[in-house]
Every structure is written in C-alpha cells, then in structure tokens.
Structure 1
Amino acid sequence: MHERPPSERLQRQALAQIAESKRMVLAVRHALAQRQPATVLITSAAPHEGKSLLGASLASAAVSMGEERILVMDLNWYRPALHQFFGRDLLHTSDEIATRPLADVIDSGGEGEPDRLLAPTDHDQVAGSALNGPAVARRLITSARELYDTIFIDTASVFPTNRMMMDPVMLASMVDGVMMVIQSRSTARQQAKRAYKTIELSGANIIGAVLNHSESLGRA
C-alpha cells in the first residue's frame, strides 16, 4: 500500500477539521434552540487546552456556513492568543475597549472571516484592575448582542484560580451557553470533573465539551 504524500494528508486533515467545526456549530445551534442572538463562552480546566483555536475555528466555520453577523471575542486579557490565529496585531488600549462603542474597537474580518474583539494592547498592565472586571465584560457582551447573531467568547481556564484575569466562572453567568475544552491525554479526569462542577454550580448552561487532540476533534 502506497503511503499518501504529506501534502495530501495535511489537506485531508484540514478538510476533516473544517467539517468537524461545522458539525460543532450545528450542535451549538441545536443546544441553544436556534436562539439569536446567542453567546457561547469557551473555557477549560487548565491553560493551553485549545480554547482560542476552538473559538477561532467555530467562528470561522459559522461564517462559511452563511452566517453574516459573527463575532469572536478575546476576554482572556491575562494570556491573550486569539489575535495570533488570525494573524492580527492588537489594536486598542484597555481604556478604549472599556469606554468606546463596541463597533469602534472591532477588528473587522475580511471575506469569509468573522469580526473580532481582540485583547487590549496594554493587557499586561491592566490585569486585576477595574478595567478587567465584570462591569466591562458585561457591557461588551451586552453590546455584542445588539450587533451580532452569534458571539463566541474565548476566556481563561477555570484553574488555577487567578483573579488577575476575567474569571470564566463569573463570565459564565452572562452567556447563553458554555463549552469546555479538554486536552486528550493531558488533563486529569478529576481536574476536568472539578472544573465542570465549578461552572455548573455557577448556574451556567453547559452545552457541551470538546475533546482536543483525539482521533476526532471533539464532541459538542
């Protein structure tokens, strides 16, 4: 049996990932009963489990499926990463994001891309301040509901608990649904269960979990 060339394998893998992302978008729509506007928060038990990648993938997939008003927000100001997946520089200061109309601080997507709210340029200086608290998050999410049909929100992990960032447990109470990312063969089962319970006890609507780096991209 001839082994497929690397380029063909990568292409097939990319197509499979796109198809899986679209399937997850459909699962999210179903879980939220086609609600619009819909806000979906993405978190995990521990850092580096693929939250930003999932948020970027779902938002991009939603646009490719014909949805026009899609926004993906980076509210993990302690460790922002979303801008890297779109090859974008950070554009606005924390004061601008906290006080200006949302439309003025959005990074507009090109053809086939979602709009983005990226972390502030001075994110390393505002962690833990009033500009990184629930009032700012609530204003941004409320404003996003007025402008977009679906909003995916990239946040920090549940653990380790660190009040120097926008707490995902606090944010979970502001959204319609929560998705959890679990890194296959990395995150301890007990830690994942503890994070799930912590989010659940906040009264949030957990709509699914995605197993990252498994044979399949995940199950939403």
Structure 2
Amino acid sequence: MSKVLEKIISIRKPKSPISESYRGIRTSIEFSNLDKEMKVINVTSSMQGEGKSTVIANLAVNFANLEKKVLLLEGDLRNPSVHRMFNISNINGLTDILLKDKAFAECVHCTDVKNLHVLSCGAMPPNPSEILSSKKMKEFITSLREYYDYIFIDAPPIGIVTDAGIISTYSDGCVFVVGSKQCDIEMAKIAKKRLEDVGANIIGAVLNKFEAEGNGYNYYNYYYQHESGRKGRNKKKAAAL
C-alpha cells in the first residue's frame, strides 16, 4: 500500500475511533437512502481549511469497502486537492472531458483501494461556475449514475463561492463539514441558508477536527485492544486506560 494512502486514517488505522466515526457516517447515509436514491453526494463547508476533502476521501474509502463502485470526483475547480490526497496526476481530468471531449477512460484513475476511482480537476478553467452549471456537466453526472453505486463530489466551500450550490442542484444529498473551533457560527448559518436557497438536500453535518477526551473514547480504544489481544497468537491482556 502506498505511503500516500496511509495518510487516510480509514486505511492507516481502521480500528481507531475516528475510522469508526466515518463508518457511522456511512451508515447514516445508507439509511437516508431508504426513501430516495442517494447516489450523488457532495461535501462542502463554509470556509477553506475545515477538512472537507479529508472527510470525503475517508467516506469514499469506506463505501468502496462495502464492495460498492465508487467515484470520487473533484468539484473544486478553483482550488483542487483530491489528486494530491491520492498522489495522482492532474494533467487530465473533469475539465478535459467537458471542454476537450476527452474520453472518461483516459482521465479517470484507479486507486489502491478496490472499487474506488478518482477523477481529478484537470486544467483549471477561468469560468468554474459556468462549467459546473452547464448542460454538459449535468449530462455527464447522469451518465456516471449508470456505472457507479456512489459518486462523491468534493465541492468548494459554499461560504466563499456559489459553486457548491450549483453542484447541489444535481446531487441527491449534501454533507456539510464544520471545523471544530474554526468555523464561525454566523458564517455556518449563511452557508446553510445558501444551500437551502437552491433546494439542496442537506442530509447531515460532520463536526471535524474535534478532540474528545472522555471515557467513551477510552473504552472504545480498550475494547479494540482487548479484542485484538484475544485474537492474537500471544494473548496479552490489554492495559486499562
């Protein structure tokens, strides 16, 4: 496994409390799929630096682990970061498909995670909003629905530009990421209203970068250490924290 993918905690520490939290978010999204198809999901935040790209990468990995065909698509055409998280090329990507008629197969990347594909931004355009709102973009997303079980779109912060609102119009659901001790509450309210104004289906919020110090997390760590010790050849009693 590449060192880059090891930076994604759902891969590096699958039994950690944070990884379990991502599985919990995955379950919540699955349950929200009962009455309405929840196939195209975008993730946004109110401002930069709240960790939305980290959240969406971990969610994509967790859904791929369910033997689902997953595409992680770069929707931030102003400040793309998905390609860096997976250490893939950004030479060809979404904009090359939409503007240069490149084939999807030429631009999409396989990853070391089974069932997970990544489509980067490609050349950064001068008119991101127009591209994201174009008929060609909507038709492209529609075509992807036929092949993938889940399509996760990393959208720009809704509190900065309108792009995430545009993406929400052809998404089935939107996940709103809030950085603990970072996000301004008034900015978060403005961002939420902007999503609601375009009819976005906000299926939930993720409190990111939260540092918990409590018995619940300690018990969780103890439980996994204890279970791992029981299954190992040398059965060692886990120390209580």
Bin of the TM-score, shorter chain as denominator length: 0.7 to 0.9
Select which of 191, 196, 199 maps to 2:192.
Answer: 196
Output the CA distance in 1 between the equivalents of 2:118 and 2:75.
Answer: 11
Output the CA distance in 2 between the equivalents of 1:116 and 1:34.
Answer: 28
Q: CA deviation at 1:206?
A: 0.5
Q: CA deviation at 1:41?
A: 0.7
Q: Output the aligned Cα RMSD.
A: 2.4
In structure 2, the residue matched to 1:116 is 118
In structure 2, the residue matched to 1:100 is 102
Output the CA distance in 1 between the equivalents of 2:87 and 2:66.
Answer: 22
Q: CA deviation at 1:151?
A: 0.8
How many percent identity over aligned positions?
Answer: 24
Structure 2 CA distance for partners of 1:93 and 1:54, relative to 1, 3 Å: closer
Structure 2 counterpart of 1:97, one-letter code: I
Q: CA deviation at 1:113?
A: 5.6
Structure 2 counterpart of 1:141, one-letter code: I
Gaps of 5+ in 1: 1-10
Summarize the alignment of residues 96-175 of structure 1 with structure 2, pairs less than 5 Å apart: 96-98=96-98, 99-112=101-114, 114-120=116-122, 122-123=123-124, 126-128=125-127, 132-135=131-134, 136-161=136-161, 167-175=163-171
Partner SS, residue 147 of structure 1 = coil
Structure 2 CA distance for partners of 1:131 and 1:161, relative to 1, 3 Å: closer
Output the CA distance in 1 between the equivalents of 2:54 and 2:129.
Answer: 28
In structure 1, the residue matched to 2:73 is 73
Greater C-alpha radius of gyration = 2
Q: CA deviation at 1:156?
A: 0.4
Structure 2 CA distance for partners of 1:106 and 1:200, relative to 1, 3 Å: same
Gaps of 5+ in 2: 1-11, 213-241
Number of equivalent positions: 198
Runs of 4+ in 1 over 6 A off after TM superposition: 11-14
Q: CA deviation at 1:100?
A: 3.1
Structure 2 counterpart of 1:161, one-letter code: V
Partner SS, residue 110 of structure 2 = coil
Summarize the alignment of residues 16-55 of structure 1 with structure 2, pairs less than 5 Å apart: 16-33=17-34, 38-55=39-56
Structure 2 CA distance for partners of 1:161 and 1:91, relative to 1, 3 Å: closer
For residues 29-62 of structure 1, the C-alpha deviation after alignment (integer angstroms, 9 at most, x for no partner) is: 1112275561101111111211111111000011
Partner SS, residue 77 of structure 1 = coil
Output the CA distance in 1 between the equivalents of 2:97 and 2:129.
Answer: 13
Instruction: Answer whether contact 2:177 2:206 (CA < 8 A) is retained.
Output: yes
For residues 103-132 of structure 1, the C-alpha deviation after alignment (integer angstroms, 9 at most, x for no partner) is: 442112234361011110x21xx1316873
Larger relative contact order (Cα-Cα within 8 Å, sequence gap ≥ 6): 1
Output the CA distance in 1 between the equivalents of 2:119 and 2:206.
Answer: 23
Q: CA deviation at 1:75?
A: 1.0
Stretch deviating more after TM superposition (72-81 or 104-113): 104-113
TM-score normalized by the length of structure 1: 0.81
